[in-house]
Amino acid sequence: MIYLFNLSCFAQFTVEGTLAKNANQKIQLLGFEGIQAYLIEETRTDAKGHFSMSYTAEDYGIGYLSISQVENQILVLAKENISIQANALSDKNNLKFLQGKQNKLFNTYTKEFDINQNVLGAWQYLAETYRNNSHLKARQNSLENILNEIESLKKVNQHLIQKLPENSYIQWFIPVRKIVSDVSYIAQNQPELIPENLTAFRNIKHDNDLFYKSGLYKDAFEGHFWLIENSGLSQDEAFAEMKKSIDIIVENLAFDDEKMNQTGEFLFQFLESRSLFEASEYLAVKLLNESSCTLNSNLEKQLEVYRKMKPGNIANNIVFDGDVFKSGTKISVSNLNELQSEYYLIAFGSSWCPACVEELPKLQEEYANLQQKGVEIVMISLDTSKQQFQNFTKDFDFYAASDYKKWDTQAVSDYYVFSTPTLYLIDKNRKILLRPNSVERAKNWILQNL
């Protein structure tokens, strides 16, 4: 029997160079997979600053050299041998590519493009000044000349891209990088171009390995949704645009489990961190209902928060199997229903969670105000040490409970807790009213609505 192997993925390509001022230092070659960077190879420069490493065809995409996580240099890992020379990796102006066709072209393009963009920015600033200054407005000939220069510079940018080798990695990469890098400028200076930028992002094939290995993945998704958020649309219109983008992203990634899981989890957490809950809920339900992919258990648990624990649903009663303290004193109470309150703010946290140590003491500061609104606070601790639990909660006047089982605590499972701190506001019938992402948001909502 004859077995045929694709040997191209095992082909080795070298990355070498001399960095005289970086002698005897650790240097790393890294690549990208989605939002994550990964180590390809690591070595040390010799006494003269020389180094040599290798990469394979599977690393095809954008990579970078890194020294002490401070000095970095982008490389195009385009299945070619690469050789660089500079005094130091941080010396960008004098860094030369001695070998590597696509890297030489990319380096030349970047320098020309950066100069062109700086000049273009100056002309655009001048044009805005002429448009907005009452004394300069009348000088139409001058403004027309400025606008002609701007159009000429834009054509130069297009010509630079057109000169790139057909079907090369940099020919794909540079226009996509421009879509990503333009976000902030467009939002601040040319909002009329927002629809064009959104369309360009949506037209990127999000499952494309070129994109996945580009190092642009994280910035592209964050920039896209940030741009929608800051586009001047009404809240309903903005969420409609976000949902449209989510539909396209999920459709693109539906048949690639690895990319779907990484992208879905990252995007979900990003939307949550921006308090874009309508969009994160839409994404969660969309992913849970997507039959073409298999979600990993951790992501599925995070997403189930919206399906099982959304406002309006009824939460489980919480049984106190371990210790319950109030104002530092141990009390006897068996479950949440015995506490007899109109509302409960349930806070999951622990002494070993840095965010909890910062956030949960704020509950103590607001306790008196919240009690006046009929809200009782109940902390469910994930501590495993009784001593640490007591030390952390001794100054809390509200209820604090722990069975010392950490993530195996029944309430943690019942309330789909996957990170701490996690907060829920429920009423006396255990109807979920809110899943706030901070004590501040919980307080503001309670003061306005109860």
Per-residue confidence in pLDDT tens, the chain, 450 aa: 344 444 445 579 999 999 999 999 999 999 999 999 999 999 999 999 999 999 999 999 999 999 987 889 999 999 999 999 999 999 888 899 999 999 998 888 777 666 666 766 777 777 778 777 777 777 777 777 778 777 776 776 666 667 777 888 988 998 899 899 889 888 887 888 899 999 999 999 999 999 999 999 999 999 999 999 999 999 999 999 999 999 999 999 989 999 999 999 999 989 988 888 889 989 998 998 888 888 888 888 878 877 888 889 999 999 999 999 999 899 999 999 999 899 999 999 999 999 999 999 999 999 999 999 999 999 999 999 999 999 999 999 999 999 999 999 999 999 988 889 999 999 999 999 998 888 998 999 999 998
Q: State residue 6's pLDDT score.
A: 47
Q: State residue 371's pLDDT score.
A: 93
Residues 113 and 448: their CA atoms lie apart, in Å, by 52
Q: At residue 391, what is the residue type?
A: N
The pTM of this model reads 0.72
Q: State residue 298's pLDDT score.
A: 81
Q: State residue 210's pLDDT score.
A: 94
Backbone angles phi, psi at 231, to 5 degrees: -90, -5
Q: At residue 120, what is the residue type?
A: L
* Cis bond upstream, residue 354 (ω within 30): no
In angstroms, the Cα distances linking 39 to 9, 29, 59, 102, 105 are 17, 6, 10, 22, 25
Residues 414 and 111: their CA atoms lie apart, in Å, by 56
User: What residues pair up with 376 in beta bridges, in sequence order?
Assistant: 344
Q: State residue 209's pLDDT score.
A: 94
Q: State residue 156's pLDDT score.
A: 64
Collect all residues with Cβ–Cβ distance below 8 Å to 404 and sequence separation of at least 6.
322, 383, 384, 385, 386, 389
- With beta carbons less than 8 A apart as the criterion, state whether 397 and 411 touch: no
Q: State residue 289's pLDDT score.
A: 87
Beta strand pairing call for 61-67 and 71-77: antiparallel
